[in-house]
A and B are shown apart, each in its own frame.
Chain A
Amino acid sequence: MRLTSSLLRRVGEWSKKYANLPDSYIERAMAQVYWKTPKKPNYLPRTIERKRFRFSIHRPWTSQFHRDNAPGKSHKFVHVEPIKDWNFFRGDRVEVLVGKDKGKQGIVKDIYQERNWIIVEGLNTKLECQKIGKKYPSIYMQQEQPLLVTSQVQLVDPSDMQATPVEWRFTEDGHRVRVSVRSGRIIPIPVSSQETIDYKLPQLYLEQAKDTTKADMEKITFEPALKTFEMDIMEKMDIKEDRVPKKFYWY
């Protein structure tokens, strides 16, 4: 049971990639604990919390997600088709197979692995009316709607720019690559799949004021010695321990 509930509340690897947040924060931001037993010996560790979350285009750490999953709100269970390998990454060129933009190609903008969704930039849009207030006229905006990766989009083969199903294969060097089933050509994973809100590429990260510098981080200061941590620190700080500990028994 615990496994199922953990599966239900799991946030996909590629959906949280862009935000670059630690997992513990995502868990903390998502958690809705209604009751927790006190930390006392006469209580068993039990929590009553929300187990089923509704995932939509709002990220789990946003206030919109909290509004969707407000306490007391329940949703119909959403069946999500299990997928073995995730094929769609940020910056991939894909072709839309359904809807008013059928046959058009676009770039993947957002990934929602919990629902098998992607959002293609500028395609499959819906006009949405945004009301600002009574004084001002409302604004109509084109809002991209999510597309199912299993049936509604396909990757584009770079050799002939046509949509194609893909599979993962190994190269001679042992790298795992996406290969177009139709032409057998490798579809490279775009560089922008590594992009996060903090950097375009990991090596292009600009160090901030509070960060440890890279040189300081990489400096090896560890020297193996036959000491425990405490012994080493006491030696460095000139703390002499001359008290003899009393005899004690573990039980």
Chain B
Amino acid sequence: MAAFMKAVQTRTSMNGITKLFTNLSLTSSVIESPKRAFLRSTPTLHCAFIHLTSERRDLMEFFDDPKNWGKNEVRVGRSWKKDELRLKSNSDLHKLWFVLLKERNMLMTMEEACNNANEIFPNPERLNKVQDSMSNLESIVRERNRAYHLLETGQTGERPGKLVYNCLGLRFYYQMRQYSIPKFVNTKWYKTHLFGFGGYATRKFLRLYREQLWNKKRKARTRNKNRVAMLMRKFPNMDLEAVKEQFPDVDIEKTKASKRAKSHTVPV
């Protein structure tokens, strides 16, 4: 009992201390330590108990530091690159993910709040920077898991899938699902998953569909050819290798000889 009382006492005193600290940091503008350093560091295990972010656990965590309110500019660095994330341990990545997630929530809330208040949301590219970092982080985690599974089982360990044809004869990537019963028992699955095609109507549809695709391709080719001809007419001293690079499917020599490529002015 005594030990329990002691623990309660220490806890209350600790609470008092933390309150004191938060008060201090709120009042004093001399201390420059950032209260909510979100992207700051990914604390490693030995210093995991040092929190740079003040633990407020209230709705205000969804908002930015009041210092940044009404500012025209909030400067931040770039997003995390994949190569930098490869240096970090799994637990660091795990922590960084939540740091980024909190930052993203904060930015989205601030964007909404700024829109509602009819104010400028400073540096909206921050959202993209956080999202880029998060997608990079996700790909690194995936990379590590793939490596483990490939080493252990010879398979990627990811959700399997395959290219199949639907009833219209269009090919798509079917992502498989997990089922508790085997395929041959699952009669309902066979009713809803009709792969493969056949019949006169489907073949007619496919013919017309392919014609459409072909027409698009043909038009693009003609467009490019005309564009090159116009370029030749407008810029007679043009670098033809650069044209070849930009329009690889156009026959440069043939286009050059064409009537369309000739200008009515005398070349200088």
| A interface with B by C-beta (< 8 Å) | 1, 3-4, 7, 20-22, 24-25, 28-29, 79, 81-84, 150, 198, 205, 207-213, 216-223, 226-230, 232-233, 236, 246-251
Contact = CB atoms under 8 A, between A and B. Distances in A.
Interface in B209-247: 216-217, 219-220, 223-224, 227, 230-231, 234-235, 238-239, 241-243, 245-247
B84 interface: yes
A223 B89 contact: yes
Q: Nearest 3 pairs between A and B by C-beta?
A: A25-B125, A25-B128, A82-B242
Contact of B231 (A20, A79, A209, A219): A79
B78 A228 contact: no
Contacts of A212: 39-42, 77, 80
B151 A226 contact: yes
Contacts of A198: 75, 77
B38 interface: yes
B205 to A, nearest CB: 14
B242 A83 contact: yes
B242 A210 contact: no
Contacts of B247: 82
B266 interface: no
B34 A217 contact: no
Contact of B239 (A83, A211, A248): A83
B131 A4 contact: no
A219 B87 contact: yes
Contacts of A29: 124
B256 to A, nearest CB: 14
Contacts of A22: 78-79, 125, 128-129, 132
A7 B246 contact: yes
B151 to A, nearest CB: 7
A4 B220 contact: yes
A250 B177 contact: yes
Given A79-B230, A220-B87, A232-B90, A208 B76 contact: yes
B171 interface: no
Nearest to A209: B34
B261 interface: no
Interface stretch (B4-12, B17-25, B110-118, B178-186): B178-186
B164 to A, nearest CB: 11
Interface string B79-105: 110001011111111100000000000
B108 interface: no
A79 B223 CA distance: 13
8 contacts: A1-B217, A22-B129, A212-B39, A229-B93, A232-B89, A248-B179, A249-B183, A251-B177
Nearest to B32: A209
B128 A249 contact: no
B125 A21 contact: yes
Contact of A211 (B40, B88, B90, B180): B40
B148 A249 contact: no
A81 to B, nearest CB: 5
B144 A228 contact: yes
Given A79-B230, A212-B80, A227-B90, 10 more contacts: A4-B220, A79-B234, A79-B235, A82-B231, A84-B239, A84-B245, A210-B76, A217-B84, A221-B44, A250-B177
Given A24-B132, A232-B90, A81 B238 contact: yes
